[in-house]
Structure 1
Amino acid sequence: MKDFFEKAAFQDHPLRVLESFLQREEAYEKSKQYERMRFVGYVLEIGYDTITIITSDPFKIAVGGIPRNSLLIMVPSNYKSLPPHFTLLRVLEAAPTPLSNEVQQTYFELQKKSMPELDVFTQSELQWGALKTAVLGMFYSHPSELNKVEFSGDLNNFVSAHKYRVYAPDNELLDLIVNSMVPQDSRFPIGDLRLTECRMFLPDKPSPNVKVYVSTKDFMGTRTALFGKTRLGKSNVVKLIAQSLIETTGESRNVGQLIFDINGEYANDNPQDNNLSLRSVYPDKCIIYAITPKDATPSRPLKINFYEHPEKAQSIIKSLLEQDGKLSSSYVSRFTSVELPSLEEVAKLPVGPDRIRLLRKIQIFWAILKKAGYSVNERQLLSVAPTGGNTSRFNPGFSDSVRNAAYQSCGINAPLQINTLDELIRELECINKLRRTNPRLCVTSSGNNLFDADDEALLEFLDPLPGRAGAALIQPYRIYNDSSAGDFINEIIQYLDSGMTVILDLGNANPEVMSYFSNELSMAVFRHQVNKFSNNRLGNHYIQLYFEEAHNLFPQSGDVTTIYSRLAKEGAKYHIGMVYSTQSPTTINKDLLAQTENFFVAHLSSRDDVNLLAKVNIAYDSLKDDILQAKTVGYLRILTRSHRFVVPVQIRKFEPTQKGVADYAL
């Protein structure tokens, strides 16, 4: 009666598949159906880290082959008298047997004598070989939770080698091995188990047919790395991760996602490659912000207010002029060499001469923008601009004597006040004319020069000599300016708080522009989450950030105080997750690598890359050669918080899922 109740309680246990598997193996053996067995061989040498097994050609053929890195299980021969459990092994390489020298001698003699056939006894001797395997851990029944399996990365004990048998697991056991540690309530299919790159299988011996799942909880508030050479499927994995979070959090909406799309592939479809974008699959859950709107993709403008951010605008203009090869003229290079302060820096200075001089530089820059046709809301600009102590924030603060002399040189009367940017342009052009024709009048009350080198560089660009383009040179860059920009940051934060996926379409944008948006929004997200943390309002809400070309943001040796370094080190505390991708691990900051929890690794071509990967995570040590050799698109080795060992996966292509949101709800 006791056995009956124990068996009844075991009916729904995950390890029931092990018992059924071993019972079938026993039945096949008794009925001599050896070709149907999954038996691989016996243990030759056993240890805590590695196990050497002996096998033969018929065994290997019966299971469809034993490729390197394939998964095997080791069970006690007397499994019926023990609690259900098995040891998981990964095949590393061929190993010598005690008869290796004799076998080689036999082969040598056979080839030397050119014997056409082997006798049956010699064949029997030569078909045996050995394989070295790594011990990945043990699966056994959870000691305190019913109908649950537990995995340990070590062995609690082992006995003599002859008391074990080794099998190639079937699909049911492989599903248990790969997916039993992934929580049921947040699962998402990422692809299919693929133990080897080679797809040539023995007749009537199909490849494993096992779906691989990931837990979307593993990505929330953690760091996820995607490594691999270009065109091997990293972007497809990014789409799948974003898709998994959209679908599994559909009702709770507790994860907002921000994707910095530097190639425009997540915001826009690519019909040429038959690739769908995230937006086209989830139009009601994705918001697109674009610098250059696409006709087929609804989007909001992603621009910078050049007037309100002169320090960033000047840097962007310099980069654009340099990119277009327009820095050859000395007056242009002098203009771009000027470093402008921010409005906040000026506002922090006490009212006085220093503040007036700094503000004047910004005002000349405003005049250049206005003359080049950059749109501006002057009323809004007046509300945010600091004052130099004058009644108008557009007043550059020249003395009455200088102003009168300047306007007199232009043949017009000096206005009492400067109230518009057009009036500012006129005054600065008159002042510049006076500076050129009568520089002795352009002095301060103490007799010093009124303008420094930066002032003169700005004025020469605003009011150039005949034959020079001046402000007209920067007219093509007006597309990056928006007088109403600035609120988009708060808009995006609100969308993220509501569980939306926001995609910044930065395709074809200048690197300086991309850097600006990445930096500004990353800082905004960080400050927002820190504020929520300080006020105990984080709750169960997370924000997920996606970065491509991560080596530009997280260089191997760089400033550890940047916002990206803070995100890498402190983001988890503030419920900020990161997904970053790059072609080479050696280009990424080692601190970030050491703190990364999830890895998706495609083909790498550098020995240095795989060695560093193995140093960062020892689980990849035995897979280095395979990563160097396998180049199939979408063939990745994944390791997440839920997976205790690396799983080789053929990643599925991103497309709308068959299940509805409710089927994945947390």
Structure 2
Amino acid sequence: MTGIADAVRRSTELRKPLTALINKGCVPVGGIYRLDYDSAIVLTDDFKKHKAGGVPRGGFLLAVAGENTESGFMLEDQEVILLRVRGTAPLPNESELIQTRLAVVRDAGASGVGFDDVTDVLTRNELQQSAFDCEVLGTFYTETDARDAQIEYGADIDNVVVSARYQVFLPSIEVLSWLASYPEPVDNRDALAIGKVRFAATRRKALVAGTDQADVRVDVSDFIGRKTAVFGMTRTGKSNTIKTLVTAVHRYGSEHKRSIGQLIFDPQGEYANVNKQDKTGLRLLGDDDNTVRIYKVEPNSTDIREKPLRINFYDREVLDAGWSLVSEATAPVNTNYSKDFRSAVLSEPDRNDRSAYNRWGWAMVAFYGLLAKCGFQGSSLPQELIIAAQADPMNAFMAANSGAVIQAGRPGSYRVLTSAGALALAEWVGERPGEFPKWHERSNCHFVDIWSVYKYTGVTSAIRSIRAFHGAQSAGDVGEHLWQDMLAGRLAIVDLSSGNDKVAKVMSERIVTHLLNRASERFRADDDPVDMQIIVEEAHNLFERGGRDVADDPWVRLSKEAAKYRMGLIYATQEVTSVDKRILSNTSNWLIAHLNSDHETRELAHYYDFKVWAPSIMRAEDIGFVRMKTYSGKFIVPVQVAKFDHAMVNNARNTAGLASIDFQDEGE
């Protein structure tokens, strides 16, 4: 009976969660001989390391108190200490071992024989001993000893013992995958196999041991409505990571019947187009503009997914956007005339303030005339422009420029009909300060500030550089179009590859500001927030670190206010230091590839425990090799991110009810 009882007891013990975990192929590599609350020294030897398939720097180890039995390893208590290898540690007799090793090397070299020939078995065993210096990451435990008890995790240990009963195991492939994915999503639909565990650039031991096949699964919901940073040098896989995440969120929305809009600012056009090499691309997630919209300066008229990324600079509904683009384009021209020009205020005043409204009208005459002079096409103005002036000089102008301006009813009131008419009137008035003295007073009107740059090619050439963003037939605000896309749960890609960095910065900031303002309106109205994600590639070109107040910086506003609006942000850049600290402090998910500067890794070291990974981040340049910390993840996990491929696209399409794509012909 005693034997039967022991067998039942052992069987019951082996089914306990953490005991079962250790017995899932984990390999013993040594034992702890020193432990404190933050670190542990693990005694091992070359034979155990070889049998385990190698122990990489940064690798996970599991320390447990218990004993080996014929049935398996039995834990004394249901808790497992998670360790991470930081490096090697000296043994207490290290100086003696060094002297012995020195003698072995000297004798073997002098006699021309192998090392084993000049040592006995006991000496060889002694020389093969070594130790790992490990960081204590935390403790896996169960609150009860029941077989169905839930495994919990604490980011520390709550007791330190000096018992030599702590044995240390290298996780098996299955257990390593469980560790790297902890805690796995409750709903399997929320899981994304983002890649495989990878501890080192050199992968020979991992390939032999099979640990390169340990999957890393993340909870897709971690990336929805939160901030995600993707850092790395050029060609280290940032875009691949973003495509993988965007596709996963798209699939997640379909699976949960949840509308999640995604907006990508694309500075190089790599998201807006199909990749010519592998013929994949995010635009393939949808077949029409109900699902995907791509905003381009020169859209393809045969593809309904492509929309114009243009505004009508003559349309007063987008006056602020047009004036911002013009001001930014001329910013490099640093003359007094250009500074006075940019100081002009074109915000439309209250129509009931006739004096202010008329002064503004004359400033608009100069602005519309400047646009026409710089080649911005468009005959009739979208909205009427009424100005007031004395009859005599205006009659002379109208006689010389038939059809440019007409009377607007009451005496002294005139209507400017076309952009060409605005140009003709501006040049006429500008050349005749004696006849129109009122509009040449800077304190009275911004007309002269704008007209004064007509003859300066530096300013006019700069304005001509943004003509591609003008569309005479464009209606409304691109920002509002994108807001409607977010309401509809579409994937919207803004292709900024045709403009310069200044234009891209102004355009993106204005769009983000518009989305924030619209989301704020819904919040104040107590309406349900709109789920949306904003994705920014080459973020260092758009973010401006430090300089502005929160109210003036839409990216900082996004990091601070977006949580209550359910607006997520994924930003990718080469430089940690280019991102405002207020954004970094509100970032929940981190994926860090190769960085080549200790200036960047020092900044990164302020967050979580990336300091430990700094040497690896600087040394390993492998594409797609990242160190990842997610919102629900308890510790940093090194990952080889999976390559974005056809299967990911078709999986997302099928989930949305669309047919798979035959990629043989796509993109040709």
Class of the TM-score when normalised by the shorter of the 2 chains: 0.7 to 0.9
**Once the two structures are superposed, what CA deviation does each residue of 1:599-618 show, in whole Å capped at 9, x if it has no partner?**
0001111222222212122x
Q: 1:647, 1:412 → 2: CA distance?
A: 71
Partner of 1:339: 342
Alignment of 1:211-226 (within 5 A): 211-226=215-230
2: CA distance, partners of 1:412 / 1:459: 22
The one-letter code matched in structure 2 to 1:118 is V
2:492 aligns with 502
- Whole-Å Cα distance in 2 between the matches of residues 339 and 477 of structure 1? 16
1:615 is matched with 606
Shift of 1:624: 1.6
Cα deviation, residue 282, structure 1: 3.9
Shift of 1:449: 5.7
* Alignment partner, residue 272 of structure 2: 267
Residue 242 of structure 2 corresponds to which residue in structure 1?
238
Q: Which segment is superposed worse, 11-20 or 260-269?
A: 11-20
Of 570, 578, 597, the match for 1:587: 578
2:183 corresponding residue in structure 1: 181
Q: Does the CA contact (< 8 Å) of 2:66 and 2:75 recur in 1?
A: no
| CA displacement 1:80-130 (0-9 Å, x = unmatched) | 363433211111111000110001111223334435333223212101111
Counterpart CA distance in 2 for 1:411 and 1:661 is 61
Alignment of 1:510-589 (within 5 A): 510-538=500-528, 541-561=530-550, 562-589=553-580
Q: CA deviation at 1:477?
A: 4.5
**Code of the aligned partner of 1:455:** F
Contact 1:74–1:86 under 8 Å retained in 2: yes
Q: Is the 8 A contact 2:534 2:570 kept in 1?
A: yes
Matching residue's letter, 2:313 = F
Q: Tell me how large the CA RMSD over aligned residues is.
A: 3.7
Equivalent position amino acid for 1:67 in 2: P
Equivalent pair of 2:30/2:42 in contact (CA under 8 Å): yes
Cα distance 1:93–1:377, how it changes in 2: closer, same or farther (>3 A)?
A: same
Q: Provide the secondary structure at the position in 1 that maps to 2:211.
A: coil
Match of 1:394 among 377, 386, 392: 386
1:301–1:4 CA distance, 2 compared to 1 (3 A): farther
Partner of 2:411: none
Q: Partners of 2:122 and 2:462 in 1: how far apart? A: 89
Q: Secondary structure at the match of 1:523?
A: helix
Number of matched pairs: 623
| 1:137 Cα deviation from its structure 2 partner | 1.1
**Aligned-residue offset at 1:145:** 11
Tell me, yes or no, if structure 1 residue 248 matches structure 2 residue 249: no
Question: What do the CA deviations read for 1:504-557 (whole angstroms, capped 9, x no partner)?
Answer: 111131223212321222122212222222233326x52111112323444332
For 2:365 and 2:341, locate their aligned partners in 1 and report how far apart those are by CA, in whole Å: 14
Contact 1:314 1:336 (8 Å CA) reproduced: no
Deviations 1:142-162 (A, max 9, x none): 559945321111112243241
Q: Give the distance between the partners of 1:133 and 1:473, measured in 2 at CA.
A: 59
Residue of structure 2 in register with 1:636 after alignment? 626
1:600 correspondence with 2:602? no
Distance 2:375 2:147 in 1: 70
Match of 2:96 in 1: 102
Partners of 1:394 and 1:212 in 2: how far apart? 65
2:307 alignment counterpart: 300
**Structure 2 vs 1, CA of residues 261 and 412 (structure 1 numbering), >3 Å: closer, same or farther?**
closer
Could you tell me which residue of structure 2 aligns to residue 485 of structure 1?
A: 475
Name the CA distance, whole Å, in 2 between partners of 1:164 and 1:413: 92
- Distance 1:162-1:145 versus aligned 2 partners, 3 A rule: closer
Q: Is the 8 A contact 1:73 1:86 kept in 2?
A: yes
Distance 1:411 1:290 in 2: 38
For 1:366, give the aligned amino acid: Y
Higher mean alpha-carbon deviation, 98-107 vs 248-257, is at: 248-257
Aligned partner (choices 158, 171, 182) of residue 173 of structure 2: 171
Q: Which TM-score applies when normalising by structure 1?
A: 0.83
Is there any run of 5+ residues in structure 1 with no aligned partner, and where?
26-37, 383-392
Letter in 1 for 2:308: P
Q: Give secondary structure in 2 for the equivalent of 1:89.
A: strand
Equivalent residue in structure 2 for 1:75, among 64, 69, 74: 64
In the TM superposition, structure 1's runs of 4+ consecutive aligned residues that sit over 6 Å from their partners are 1-13, 408-414, 450-453, 468-473, 662-665
* Pick aligned residue for 1:63 from 46, 52, 64: 52
Partner deviation per Cα, 1:250-281 (whole Å, 9 max, x = no partner): 14233211111111111112214x36221124
Q: Work out the CA distance in 1 between the residues paired with 2:580 and 2:165.
A: 48
- SS of 1:347's partner is coil
Partner of 1:118: 118
Distance 1:477 1:145, change over 3 A: farther
- Looking at structure 2, the residues matched to 560 and 193 of structure 1 have their Cα atoms a distance apart, in angstroms, of 41
Contact persistence 1:341–1:358 (CA under 8 A)? no
The answer to whether 1:646 aligns with 2:649 is: no
Give, as a single letter, the amino acid of the residue that structure 2 aligns with 1:160. V
Answer whether contact 1:444 1:450 (CA < 8 A) is retained: no
1:448-467 pair list within 5 angstroms: 455-456=447-448, 458-459=450-451
- Structure 2 unaligned blocks of 5 or more: 68-72, 409-413, 657-668
Residue pair 2:285, 2:292 contacting (<8 A) in 1 also: no
Distance in 2 (alpha carbons) for counterparts of 1:189 and 1:247 = 13
SS at match of 1:514: helix
In structure 2, relative to structure 1, the CA distance for the partners of 1:289 and 1:5 (3 Å cut) is: farther
Q: Is the 8 A contact 1:409 1:430 kept in 2?
A: no
Q: In the alignment, what sits opposite 1:356?
A: 358
Distance 1:664 1:152 in 2: 36
Contact 2:370/2:423 (8 A) holds in 1: no
**Pair 663,7 (structure 1): closer, same or farther in 2 beyond 3 Å:** farther
1:257 equivalent in structure 2: 262
1:209 aligns with 2:213: yes
Aligned with 1:250: secondary structure?
A: helix
CA distance in 2, matches of 1:311, 1:571: 24
Aligned residues: percent identity?
27
The secondary structure found in structure 2 opposite 1:98 is coil
2:294 to 288, 302, 305: 288
**Alignment counterpart, residue 196 of structure 1, candidates 182, 197, 200:** 200
Instruction: State the shift of 1:319 in Å.
Output: 5.2
How far has the Cα of 1:192 moved from its partner? 0.7
Distance 1:475 1:175, change over 3 A: closer
- Summarize deviations over 1:46-90 as a string: whole Å, max 9, x none: 111111011111101101111111111111124636343321111
Shift of 1:40: 0.4
Q: Aligned equivalents of 2:241 and 2:61: distance in 1?
A: 28
Matches of 1:365 and 1:217, distance apart in 2: 48
C-alpha distance in 1, partners of 2:192/2:407?
Answer: 70
What is the CA deviation profile of residues 391-426 of structure 1, one whole-angstrom value per residue up to 9, with x for unaligned ones?
xx333x22113323545677999954444434x755
